[in-house]
Structure 1
Amino acid sequence: MATTLTPVLTDRWANERSWTLDAYRKAGGYEALRSALAMAPGDVLTAVKDSGLRGRGGAGFPTGMKWGFLPAPDGGPRYLVVNADESEPGTCKDIPLMMADPHLLVEGAIITSYAIGCHHAFIYVRGEVLHVYRRLLAAVAEAREAGLLGSDILGSGYDLELTVHAGAGAYICGEETALLDSLEGRRGQPRLKPPFPAVAGLYGRPTVINNVETIASVPSIVANGADWFRSMGTERSAGFGIFSLSGHVARPGQYEAPLGITLRELLEMAGGMREGHELKFWTPGGSSTPIFTAEHLDVPLDYESVGAAGSMLGTRALQIFDETTCVVRAVARWTDFYAHESCGKCTPCREGTFWMKGIYQRLESGQGTAEDLETLLDVCDNILGRAFCALGDGATSPVTSSLQHFRAEYEAHVTGGGCPFDPVAAARFEYTPRTMAGVHA
């Protein structure tokens, strides 16, 4: 059995009242902040850059490099915005992290703000998770009362305000520029780039936007050093990350491990597939990443290897499906989500997701045709690379990849007059879901 786990971000989750300042400090919390404040801001930035930390929100862009894109100080404000608007289907790592250990995020935000010269930072959290919002507010209040926020933090002369802002529950606000518009009080829609947020972000000022897990990784880098961080993971995908296993596994949950671990190893830790069933398909990084099959069990889960295999590591949301799942129905539900969450700003995404949703409804209801399969691919081709932001591109990923790996299952929906996993439809033709050896009766 594989035993490669690296509890760093999740190390305190089981501690009694782990979310309180007292519990966090007993476990060594805010010591990294003391160390950072004793360093020059540029040295903190260099440590993060040398660590090889990459953004844990999906794109995987080098964090230190992103911070370094900020222009030289001009006397005006600059901002840090923590993207806590977790809403990708299957992604469930940031919310438990903020619930169990909010002070880790607060400490990471203070250190990051110090490194980039920011004096007012924001945490943009999804409004529906009211329990998380309240917990973050309580943690910020505790930190401020303890002199860890506000004026002259720990006697260093450094000042920082940290605002927790609740969004209104729009998936599009996970896109960084749409998040900025929402934070400014406008409708959340992506902005035209350039200018990029590093140059003109929040309120038109230089802004760094990072995911919760990215910022939460900073204190451990400051405390233990860049070499320690690089000792885990791979050469180009350094460090550790939270892998969220959900679906048809014996023990779903959060597994923190070095980047480069495989799904086979993670499944061993999770007790394997549910008893009596076998893996059919899975997502390596949430529903907006191309799906994988059992053939990809041994693909190292790092940015380069997953990309070379035809998908994206994304948010490491590993949704696991066994042979009882209809891949067409699963993709139809994801497509319905993207059609609903499209902000409507650009035609390819607004119209394309709407038409794909309609095609899937026909396929599932037994009214689909062979031409519908080609139309799906054609619509995807007209969305991919032509949408205003990544939402449109992400919506095409499960469609094109499922057609690549399970075209026979799509065809069975056409020839069989509906979903072969539905007992009524399945009775009309011979069908073996596990092998897709279906022949219309």
Structure 2
Amino acid sequence: MTRLYASAGAIVVCADLQHPRMLLLEQIRTTGERQVVAPKGRIEPGESPLIAAAREVSEEAGLHDMRYVAYLGQEAYHFTDHDGTPAQKTVDWFLFATTDTNATPRQTEGFVAAQWHDLPDALTAASHASFHEYVRRADEIIAWRRSGPLDYSDTLSQTVWNFSRQANALLAKNPDAGVALCGSAARGDFIEGWSDLDLIAWGLEPASPPAIALRQLADEISHQAGIRISLHLAHPDRDGANGLERLHTMKLHAVLRRTHIDVPIVAGTRAASLPELPHTANLAADIGHLRDFAYQRQAATPTSGTDRIDRARRTLAVLSSAARQTALTVDAHGLLRLPDVVATLDHHWPDTEAARLLDDYDAYRRTGADDLIRAEQLANQVPSALEELHHLTAARDGRRTTIQAT
């Protein structure tokens, strides 16, 4: 029998996008071995990985004012425990930013020095090669925001911490329930005024008191922060019929399959108890439905500036979701930031309208996504890009759906 351990840690960087130095701790273990590591440690009972990562930074480095930026994924490895028992350890890695560089290493655990490194130097200094992948992911997120420039969102960070801590307490008596953060808030490309904070919850009956309390909490925090928060309860036995229901179902299927990759659990149970969901049975049909939804969305007449923004935002979100779902069919473990999705599409279907439009949309988002005319220009191109994507996925599957665009 394999013994299981679960830990969480953080890559902590200076909040200055132009000089994103990274914190590493030098530790001398009881065996006398010297190692250079990022703050991390075991997830305690009742903690979510996010809460555990913040606690470990506080305990091992003496830093308390952390901005949540992104989830970097889960590292997993096997080893033999001290008594000869086979063991597996997982480490959930987060990206935090701070304006406080006065780290104080915890000497009682053998930490003897705290050093701030430029990210390329951190790759050389860190003791464990498996950690390098998460440093590179952090570097890519920071570079994406720097190219805008698009500073880290204090509002997002405060909202995530606020929800995580309150929801964790709320779910304390529901051992099979949990909430995961997904979408741009998980990937590190959240944009204030444009992005939503998307959450997926599981292990709760929709009409149960904890589920109702969780929705009320999301609504209250959304109102306080001024960020749209979407909370969806997982129903593995339900499929959306069309439109937004279908979009939500596609997102849900992707989220629950990818928790270890780019969906962090922010409250409640660890990922071991997540429900299993089948892969999309007919990708081409799903893309066809989303294409029709985009046509319908674009045909609607907005009655206000807010309606115009919402129409463009949702239409572009449909394209992004369809492209991500397509990318997952050819690389189930690929990352889902738009540059990664564009690269996947280009590799398998060179020179597509969908990839070019996503690239343009990504550039638009990096500048802050505040030019409504440009957003509408991009959204107008979505239905034809989805038409192309529908043809490509249908040809790949050897079939074509006959859904009519409206």
Normalised by the size of structure 2, how large is the TM-score?
0.31
Normalised by the size of structure 1, how large is the TM-score?
0.29
More strand by share: 2
Higher-Rg structure is: 1
